[in-house]
Structures are given as structure tokens and as C-alpha cells.
A and B are shown apart, each in its own frame.
Chain A
Amino acid sequence: MQEHTQLGQKQINEDLLKGVLTVPKWWLPAVAFLGLVVLTGLGAFFYMVYHGMGVTGLNRPVMWGFFIANFVFWIGISHAGIMISAILRLTQADWRRPITRAAEVMTVFSLIAALHTPLMHVGRPWRVLYWIFPYDFSRGIWPNIRSPFVWDPSAVGTYLIASSLFVFVCLLPDIAILRDRAKKPIVKKIYAQLALGFRGTPRQWKLQIVAGILLSALVLPVFVSVHSIVSWDFAVLIGVEGWHSTIFAPYFIIGAIHSGVSAVAMLMALSVWLYGLDKYIKPDHFDAIGRLLIIVATTWFFFFFLEWVYALYTLESPELALRELQAFQWPYAPLFVLFIVTAFVIPVPMWLFKKVRRSAALMFFTTILVNIGMWLERFLIIIPGLVRRTHMTFDWGTYHPSIIEILIVVETFAFVALGMLLFAKVLPLIPLFDIKEGMVNRRLIKVGRRVIPATIREGLPHHYYEKKH
């Protein structure tokens, strides 16, 4: 992390609290517009509740469509938070500092967006509580533990709680700053309650840091299991072609990391443009995330290739018919080509060039392409398998999404954007204490004619490094 602006604490406070203490001109119109989209989506949902699922494009055999593709997509995006926060924190990567909170908050909102999709897609949403809560105590009937749909809320719920805790623990010092700066008594009271009495004593700092590290370590198994469990919604079924593949668990996870980290890169670019945070998010940060994305995208592409190889390896005619449908037949063929091009063929070669990696605009453009491609990937895994299934050709079907489904999908995007904007108004999007910690811990070393940054070796006492020659 060569590029750096060493700033004083006062300057950091001013810059990063600007989003909270002032209202940018574009903020209100943006929130109003997004709120309108969310309301329209909710209106579409209530229309669907009133008239029945028939208003969607679902039919037999395509019983799952846009809603489930959207669900998987948002679970995927939610993996970015953990990737950036937990893994980069545990490996002590310094370039994570400006982006952890935005990533974690995006995780929380995308998990909520993901959770409300399956609640919306059931036939009788008013009975959805039966899914998680055992309703029939007298007969002792609990939810069916054997069902992947019961593993789902457990996993996603755990992930949501862990992520929220993570966001909150890392927010505490910043809430304390806001508490101290708040002028209106009611606002001050709210921040005071949330700050849990954080005063910045050494013991409190130690507890806060230890809590952050523990949560980082503990949430990693959750990170691996959540998307595996979501993938097993599909992989455990033998009746649908293309789904019964063991690679689904890691394939979905690597796809999630791909789309999630791309979404974080998008957020970085937006933070720089909308909130003027270019002193904190430098081209070097974009470069670092770009290099991570190259590795992730290439790994993802290998998994995608493996999935296809094994589909053809089975030599089973229904599987081959499915792949023919996916890649060569209308309307899935152009979507397939679009997906490959946007998710890999355009972005990755572009990212190989340092100039592209360092440009916020180009990173924004390529990562939007990636997310379009990854949404299409979820769609192409789910729907063609349902459309063309097994030997019984009499039951082959089609699927055309209806306006209701499109509106609800758009609503989830607006929901996440709205959530992020509202959050940024109430709490700072870049963690103040993390940035200040980076400034304080920063040291420089002269190597030849260059001066490079150096980090304090955390963990072991320094005398351990002394070699006795």
C-alpha cells in the first residue's frame, strides 16, 4: 500500500463524518426515488398475495424462477463482507481499512434482501412462520430438519446475526464519537444508548479488538456453510437435470465471492464519487481489490468449467439435452453468451492491466458487468434445469418472467441501495477508528532510495526475532 495520505485525527473526523453531519444535495432525491421503487415492489408483492402466485410466470415444471435466482444472488453478494472484513483482518492486510464497514453493511442489507425473497415466493406467505417456528406443540411436530429449506434459515439467520454483531462491534468507537458530537438531546440519547458506554479506555479498546478478531475467526465457518447450504437446496434433488452435482457447494461459494467482491469494488467507486473520499480510497486500493478479483474470477471460471465437464462426463442423455438447451437454444443461448462475456471474458483480461485496476471508473464498469453476469449465472443454473427435465419430454416447459417478478427483483436492489444510503446518513461508512489505527501504526522504512510503508508485527514479542549469530 504505497499510496497514502497521512492525516491528522481532526481531519479524519471532519472528512468521514461529513456524510453523517451534513446532507449532500443528491441524497434526498436518491432516497425518495429508491423509496418509491421499494414501495412499488412491495405493492407488487401485495398484489401477488391478493391474486395468487398465478400472476408470476411460474408454472409446472418451472416452479422456481426469478425469486429463487434473486435469493441466491443476494446470498452471494452477502459473502463479500466476510471476505473483506474477516479474512483480510485475520491476514492483517492494511488495504482493508477503508472498505470493511461498507462491505459489512452491504452484507447485512443483502442478507435481509435475500431473506425476504423466499418469504415472498411461497404460496401462503401468511403461514410462513411454520417454516421456522414449530407450531404444533400438542403433536410434537417440529420443522423438518432433513429439509435443506430448514437448514437455510438456520444458516442465513446465523450469518445475519454474526454479521450484525460484527458491524456493531466495529461501530462502537464511531458511535461514541457521534454521541459526543451530537447536539440535539434526543439524537444524543440514541447514540449514547447504542454506544454502550464506550469511552476509549485501554480495557475497552482491548475488548473491542479481541471481540473483532474472535468474530472474524468464528464467522468464517459460517461463511463457508451458508452458501453451501443454499447450494444444497438444488444439489440434493435428483429430479432436476444439472442440479445433482457435488461441486455446487464450492462453486456457489466462489461465485459468491466473485460477485460480492465485485460489489464491494462498486461501493468503493461510489464512495469516492458520491462522498468525496478520495483521500482514503486510493488507486492502490482499487489495484489491490482488482488483483484479488483476478484470482477469484479465474478460480470461479475453473469451477464453472469443471461443472460443465462433469455434466458431459455423465454421458446421460437428459443431462446432455439440458446443456444443449443452456448453451445453444433460444432463449438461453444468448443469455449464456452474455453471462460468460460479462462475468469473465471482458473483466478479467481488462483487470490484467495496472491502468485499468487503478481507475475507479473502469473498476466500476467491469464490476457492474460481473454482477450482471453472475445474476444471469444464477438464472441459468436454476431455470433451464427446470425447463428441460429427464426423459419425460411430454412435461418439458418454458418460463417467461412476469412484471410482478421483475418489480420484486428490482425492489430488492433498491432496498439494498436504500439501506446503504440511510446507514451512511446515520453512521459513518468508513470506520474512523480503523483509519486512525492505520495512521498511528504506520511506519516507514527506507529501502535503498525508496521509502516504503511497514506494519508493526502483531502477535509475538519482538525479542523473539533476534537471531543469535
Chain B
Amino acid sequence: MVTDPGDRVIEPYVETDNSVETRKAVSDGLLGIHNVTSNTFWQFAAFFGILFLLGVVGFVMRLSSGFDDKAAWGYYVAVFAFLMTTSSAAPMVAIAPRIANSHWRRPISRAAEIWTLAGCLNLILYIPLIWLLPSLENGRRSLWFYGQQEGVPAYSPHIWATLAIVGLVLLGLSLLWLSTLPDFAVLRDHGEGWKKKWGGKLALGWRGTSAQWNWQHHRMGVVGAFYFMMLVFVHFFISVEFLMVHVPGWIDSLYPITHAHNALQAGVATVMLTMFFLRQFGGYKDYIGLDQFWGLGKLLLALSLLWFWFWFSSFNVFWYGKKPSEQAVLELFVKGPYLYLFITIFILVFILPWFTMIWNPVRRSIWGPPILAASVLLGTLLDRIRLYVASWDVAGKNMVSQLEMKMSEVPTKIPVPEIADIFIMVGFIGGSILTFMLATRLIPAINLWEQKEMLLYKAEVQFHRTKVTIMGKSR
């Protein structure tokens, strides 16, 4: 700390309780909860496992229907996009508060990071999509500007999208591993059985020296920053290549950002629900408290309000200008066959969170924010269905070389989902949850080292007539 000579008031300081005993107590407490697996857990895991099997069946059924009828793949892509928005954005709840030095993130950052593993599941869903994307040869609009004329390879979009999505998953896995590294070492040293074995394998000689800690913190920061940038990049690609190019005349420069923002909102909602279940059923009642729900609740409220702003920015410009091509796009997604679906989404994702979470009693409670998180997640799922099913329905009409869509070409009905689609939706969402649950058997659901680190920063002092908790700021 820099000291200034002259005119200083002497400042007393407090020592934090960072003794080995206290740290061991924290570690043992958490490990104790981690090592217990109840029967209910296996029952739910079995349930989600069955759902996942249904999902695999649906996946095979969908594959067998072939790649020619693009309109039939609408629901499939919607599920892929939904899983991408929720599971890939969840780690942001770990990354962003770390940069902002917010201590309330400590109990929930691991849960947020574990959701990356569901991203691996999403990769399986992604593979058939590579065949579904139209190449640049038929004169469609694309991010690659002039397409064939400039010597751009016809399969550029496919290559870039694959690189981006695979890159995102790899970055997420790196982040998860870096974050769990010290905890694997704890498992190796204090765990039993298969956890001890696998903890040892994954800990790679972690000893907890200063150099190792510095390295770990630094890499986590860098990987986190790159993860965020890659996330925005991925959403940029998905929203253009899988959504906008299929609807001629849908030129919405804001949409990649809207898509990324919806992902952040859904990610926060996912983590909110996860921590609710961890608290109520996972035995972590003493670790996940009101602070976490309050902090995430504020974030959820702000993001829900922003949802409206992003949607309205696009809508206003299209609606006001009255260009026929844009009116057709609005008819497709908002005013036409999807009107009631849109109103439902609007209420679930914006109106409900806004009118409930502005009230302190709702926001500052254990039950309030999770209910709204469920509402947001349901709304996001419906929103993805609305956008992707509508867009691929138009894609099925093979208008991709046109520059504009006429009002008469707008579909008038919502396509009905087939059995395969329902299986895929239910199955892969269940499969993601199953992945999370199984992962928590090895990876502790609450970050041990972050909780121990909190001991370094936390102390109790007397403030006038009461005792208050003070939290140190490392920067």
C-alpha cells in the first residue's frame, strides 16, 4: 500500500481468520456435503437419463428425415439455439463478477462454470447443422460480403461457425478445469475411492504454491475474458448464419447483440434456478444465501428490462420506416401467425420480471427470483422456437437468393412440431440437466478454494453500536 507522508491519521487494521483450522473446517464442511449422494438424486438422474434416451431416439429420427426439407428442422435448430443460449452464457455469471470483485459470486461460480459441459452435448446437436447451412454459391446474403465473386470459399460460413462453437466449448472446458484445479487437489488429498483417483489425475501435481496460485488466477482471468469475447462472436455467427440469412430482407444490425443479450439473461436465469435447487435439495443451505439471490436478482431484473430495449430498438426502426421488406419481416415474427406466441413471450420475459422484481420483498427473497428465472427460461425457449421455426420455415421455401421477401410470401401458420422434435427438445434439455448432475459427482458444486479465499477477505468489526461484516477489496 502506498503511504503518503504528512497529515495522516493512523489507521488500525483487523486481522482475518485465515488459520489452517478454519480453512480445513470450511473444506471439510463442503466436502462432507459433496460426498453425499442421496437416493432422490439417483431417481432424478434416472428420470433425466430416460428423457435423454428419448432425445437420442428423436435425434436419429430427425437425421433420417434428410437434409432437403429445411422447414422440418426448425424445432431442432431452436433447441440447439436454446441450449446454446442457456448453457454457454451461464459461465458469464462466474466471469463477470470475478472481474468486478463481487464476493457474492463465490458460492455460485462453480455451478455456473459446470454448465459448459452441457455445451459439449450441444456440439452433438451442432454437427448435422453443418450440412443444413446453404453454401455461398446460390447468391445468398452472408457476412462474407461478396461471396463467390471475391474468391471467398463457398463454405466459409460453415468453417467459421464450427471453429467458433468448438472454440467456445474448448474455452469453457479450460475455464472449468482451471477453476476446479485446486479442488481436484483437495479430492486427491482428502477424498476417497474413485473421486480420489480422478481428482489426482486431473489435479496434475497441484501443490498450492504461490507461483501456482498466481498462474491459476492469471490464466482464469485471461480465459474468462476470451470466453466472453468468443461468446459474443458465437452469437454473432448463430444469429446471422442460422437465423437471419434464411429470411430475405431481414437486415437487423442489432440482432447479434440482442441474441447475445438474451443469452446472458437466460444464463443468469439458469444459474438462478441451479442455485435454488442446490440450496433446497443439494444440502448447500448454509452456503447459498440471500446475498446470492439478491445479487443475481438485481442482474436478472436489469437484463429483463434490457430485453425490452433491444427488442424495441429493432421493432421501432422497422415499424416506423414502413419499408415493405421490413414490414414482411415484422409480419413473420411479430404480427402474423406468431402473434399470440410473441405476446406470451413478452409477458414471460419482460412484463412479469419487471412488475414483480422491482419490489424489494420479491427481489430480496429466496423464492422470488427463482420463480421469475423459471418464467424467463420458459419465455426464452418459446422465443427461440418463434424465431428459429419461423426463419427455417421461410428457408424451406428456398428464397435464399432473393434480396427481399414479399408480404404474400410470409407463412401464415406455425408449423406443428413432430414427435421427433418433441423428443429432441425434451431429451436434450433433460440431457443437459443430467450432464450437470453427473458432473457434480466429481466436481464439487461449490468452489472450495473460493470459499476459503473469502476467509482472507472477511472480518467482523464494531461499528458504533453494532457489529458489521467488512469485505476486503483486492484491487
Q: Which residues of A contact B (CB under 8 A)?
A: 1-8, 11, 91, 94, 221, 224-225, 228, 232, 235-238, 244-250, 279, 302-303, 306-307, 309-316, 442-448, 450-457, 459-460, 462, 464-465, 467-469
Contacts and interface: CB of A to CB of B under 8 A. Distances in A.
A250 B254 CA distance: 8
A6 B13 contact: no
Contacts of B1: 2-4, 450-452
A154 B279 CA distance: 46
B313 A445 contact: no
Nearest to B256: A306
A238 B321 contact: yes
B74 to A, nearest CB: 23
Interface in B287-315: 287, 289-291, 294, 305-306, 309-310, 313-314
A39 B233 CA distance: 50
Contact of A224 (B100, B251, B309): B309
A446 B251 contact: no
Interface string B305-339: 11001100110111011110000000000000000
A302 B317 contact: no
Interface in B78-104: 100
Interface in B367-420: 403
Contacts of B256: 306
B458 A465 contact: yes
B7 A245 contact: no
B470 to A, nearest CB: 4
B160 to A, nearest CB: 13
Given A11-B7, A456-B470, A228 B255 contact: no
A3 to B, nearest CB: 5
By DSSP majority rule, is chain A's interface helix, strand, loop, or mixed?
mixed
Contacts of B461: 443
Contacts of A453: 472-473
A456 B236 CA distance: 41
B317 A245 contact: yes
B317 A248 contact: yes
A310 B254 CA distance: 9
B381 to A, nearest CB: 24
Contacts of B403: 315-316
Contacts of B254: 245-247, 249-250
B321 A228 contact: no
A442 B8 CA distance: 14
A451 B291 contact: no
B309 A249 contact: yes
B29 A457 contact: no
Contacts of B305: 221
Interface in B239-269: 251-257
Contact of B317 (A94, A225, A235, A462): A235
Given A238-B321, A315-B141, A2 B2 contact: yes
Given A236-B317, A236-B321, A451-B13, A465 B294 contact: no
Contacts of B252: 246, 310
Nearest to A298: B229
A307 B253 contact: yes
Contacts of A237: 321
B323 A302 contact: no
B456 A447 contact: yes
Given A94-B473, A238-B321, A443 B14 contact: yes
Nearest to B29: A469
B469 interface: yes
B473 A454 contact: yes
Contacts of A314: 141, 251
B242 to A, nearest CB: 15
A452 B475 CA distance: 8
Contacts of A248: 313, 317
Nearest to B286: A467
B13 A444 contact: yes
Contacts of B289: 464-465
A244 B321 contact: yes
Contacts of B257: 247, 250, 303, 306
A457 B13 contact: no
Contacts of A457: 468-471
B469 A445 contact: no
A444 B310 CA distance: 42
Nearest to B255: A246
A221 B253 CA distance: 22
B36 interface: no
Nearest to B16: A445
Which of A1, A316, A453 has the most C-beta atoms of chain B within 10 angstroms of its own C-beta? A453
4 closest Cβ contacts across the A-B interface?
A: A310-B253, A444-B13, A247-B253, A249-B313
B143 interface: yes
Contacts of B468: 456-457, 462
Contact of B475 (A2, A244, A443, A454): A2
12 contacts: A7-B7, A7-B8, A309-B253, A314-B141, A315-B141, A444-B14, A446-B14, A446-B16, A447-B456, A448-B456, A460-B291, A465-B289
Contacts of B68: none
A245 B457 CA distance: 47
B151 interface: no
Interface in B3-38: 4, 7-9, 11-16, 18, 25-26, 29
Contacts of A446: 13-16
Given A246-B253, A247-B253, A457-B470, 9 more contacts: A3-B2, A4-B1, A236-B316, A248-B313, A250-B254, A316-B403, A445-B14, A456-B463, A460-B294
Contacts of A443: 13-14, 459, 461, 470
Contacts of B287: 467
A341 B474 CA distance: 34
B310 to A, nearest CB: 7
Contacts of A315: 141, 403
Given A236-B321, A246-B318, A444-B11, A452 B474 contact: yes
B357 interface: no
A385 to B, nearest CB: 14
Which of B294, B473, B474 has the most C-beta atoms of chain A within 10 angstroms of its own C-beta? B473
B467 interface: yes
B8 A5 contact: yes
A6 B4 CA distance: 9
Contact of A445 (B7, B236, B323, B457): B457
Contacts of A279: 4
Given A238-B321, A248-B317, A302-B232, A465 B469 contact: yes
B145 interface: yes
A8 to B, nearest CB: 6
B189 interface: no
A1 B305 CA distance: 31
A313 B290 CA distance: 47
B192 interface: no
B460 interface: yes
A237 B317 CA distance: 8
Nearest to B457: A445
B264 to A, nearest CB: 13
Contacts of B16: 445-447
